[in-house]
């Protein structure tokens, strides 16, 4: 399972012989939502009106949303794919590097297709090009985790909707919406840390990554066993107006799933000062 905003996707990858060409094989990509229906509760009928303007719903849906208590809107999430990538068995056997490069390009293209589908639901994916590009990289990584057998897709829940309450968050306050997205992405104890200390601590392998909720805040990296300070990483995204909590989500996903990429794109500074504590000091977000 991988997340793009509030949406959760189950990725399937199959490698089978082509029905049209017996000398070829096909890698088939498919992304299914973890929940087929997302029930969005908002304070008004803005979401239904947006769907009506885009031609995705009738005006009756707008009127019914106005009359419904709480302004709930049911959003049906479609599957993405199946998308087939046909290849020659001889290419795979004789030119594995060439075949792998083609597979990586196809996986990347499918990952962007998944993110484009998710972005068609603006109430579920925050409008940020930088954030969406990061999601595409994470989806591509999940595709190869499935290929390697490290991730197993679960069945799509058709029987009950996923509940999403955005009624407490005003339109036009991106940071509040982004902070609520943090709740859906991280674990409960990590969200507790985010709420009380304005940071997130990620343990990946032998390193701790501590991510502050500050614009362009430096990520502190510590050795897990010895608690030795290693470095501070500066990661700046292309979107200069990204809310701080959006930055936290992006950096959290990179530290948790793609730490090598985090070291590649980050500008390295000297190690942090002081001592590392599992419970961070309350200075986070205050200095």
- Partnered with residue 2 across adjacent β-strands are 9
The single residue listed with the structure tokens 């993405």 is: 80
Q: Which secondary-structure segment (H or E) carries 183?
A: helix 174-185
Asked whether the predicted pLDDT for residue 45 surpasses 60, the reply is no
Name, in order, each residue with C-beta under 8 angstroms of 282's C-beta and a sequence gap of 6 or more: 197
Q: Residue 128's pLDDT is what? A: 62
Query: How does DSSP assign 213-234, residue by residue?
Result: SSTTPPEEEEETTT--EEEEEE
Instruction: Locate the DSSP E strands across 59-190.
Output: 72-76, 80-88, 162-165
Calpha distance 2→138 (Å, rounded): 8
Asked whether the predicted pLDDT for residue 152 surpasses 80, the reply is yes
Task: Find, among 220, 183, 217, the residue nearest to 201 by Cα.
Answer: 220
Q: Residue 110's pLDDT is what? A: 95
Phi, psi torsion values for 99, nearest 5 degrees: -65, -40
CA 148 and chain centroid, separation: 20
* Neighbour count for residue 157 (Cβ, 10 Å): 15
Report percent pLDDT > 90 for the chain. 26
Asked whether the predicted pLDDT for residue 286 surpasses 50, the reply is no
DSSP 8-state code for residue 242: -
Lowest-pLDDT range of 63-67, 128-132, 248-252: 63-67
Which has the higher per-residue pLDDT, 50 or 200? 200
Contact 130, 238 (CB under 8 A): yes
Mean pLDDT of 226-246: 82
Mean pLDDT of 138-160: 90
Q: Which secondary-structure segment (H or E) carries 27?
A: strand 24-33
Contact 11, 135 (CB under 8 A): no
Asked whether the predicted pLDDT for residue 233 surpasses 90, the reply is yes
Q: Residue 5's pLDDT is what? A: 74
Phi, psi torsion values for 123, nearest 5 degrees: -75, -10
Mean pLDDT of 68-78: 73
Q: Are strands 2-4 and 199-204 parallel, antiparallel or unpaired?
A: unpaired
Q: Residue 127's pLDDT is what? A: 59
Mean pLDDT of 2-29: 87
List, for residues 186-204, the tens digit of each pLDDT value. Answer: 888 888 888 888 889 999 9
pLDDT band, residue 108 (cuts 50/70/90): very high
Calpha distance 239→255 (Å, rounded): 19
Asked whether the predicted pLDDT for residue 172 surpasses 60, the reply is no
Note the residue count of the chain.
287
Lowest-pLDDT range of 47-51, 80-84, 234-238: 47-51
Name, in order, each residue with C-beta under 8 angstroms of 84's C-beta and a sequence gap of 6 or more: 26, 27, 28, 29
Calpha distance 33→51 (Å, rounded): 20
Which has the higher per-residue pLDDT, 169 or 153? 153
Calpha distance 3→124 (Å, rounded): 11
pLDDT band, residue 113 (cuts 50/70/90): very high
Report percent pLDDT > 70 for the chain. 77
Q: Which secondary-structure segment (H or E) carries 265?
A: helix 259-265
Q: Residue 153's pLDDT is what? A: 92
* Neighbour count for residue 46 (Cβ, 10 Å): 15
């Amino acid at each position: 399972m991988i997340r793009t905003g509030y949406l959760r996707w189950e990725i399937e990858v199959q490698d089978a012989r082509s029905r049209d060409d017996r000398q070829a094989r096909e890698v088939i990509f498919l992304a299914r939502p973890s929940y087929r229906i997302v029930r969005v509760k908002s304070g008004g009928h803005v979401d239904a009106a947006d769907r009506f303007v885009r031609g995705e719903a009738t005006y009756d849906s707008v009127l019914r949303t106005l009359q419904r208590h709480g302004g709930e809107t049911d959003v049906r999430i479609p599957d993405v794919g199946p998308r087939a990538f046909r290849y020659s068995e001889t290419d795979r056997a004789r030119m594995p590097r060439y075949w792998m490069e083609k597979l990586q390009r196809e996986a990347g293209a499918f990952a962007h297709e998944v993110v484009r589908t998710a972005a068609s639901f603006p109430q579920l994916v925050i409008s940020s090009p930088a954030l969406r590009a990061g999601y595409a990289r994470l989806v591509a990584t999940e595709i190869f985790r499935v290929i390697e057998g490290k991730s197993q897709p679960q069945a799509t829940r058709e029987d009950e909707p996923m509940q999403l309450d955005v009624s407490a968050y005003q339109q036009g306050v991106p940071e509040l919406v982004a902070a609520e997205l943090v709740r859906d992405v991280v674990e409960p104890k990590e969200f507790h840390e985010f709420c009380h200390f304005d940071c997130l601590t990620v343990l990946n392998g032998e390193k701790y990554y501590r991510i502050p909720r500050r614009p362009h805040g430096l990520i502190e990296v510590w050795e897990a066993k010895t608690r030795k300070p290693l470095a501070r990483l500066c990661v700046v995204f292309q979107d200069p107006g990204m809310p701080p909590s959006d930055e936290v989500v992006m950096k959290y996903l990179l530290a948790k799933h793609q730490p090598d990429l985090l070291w590649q794109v980050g500008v390295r500074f000297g190690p942090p000062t002081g001592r590392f504590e599992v419970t961070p000091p309350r200075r986070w977000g205050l200095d």
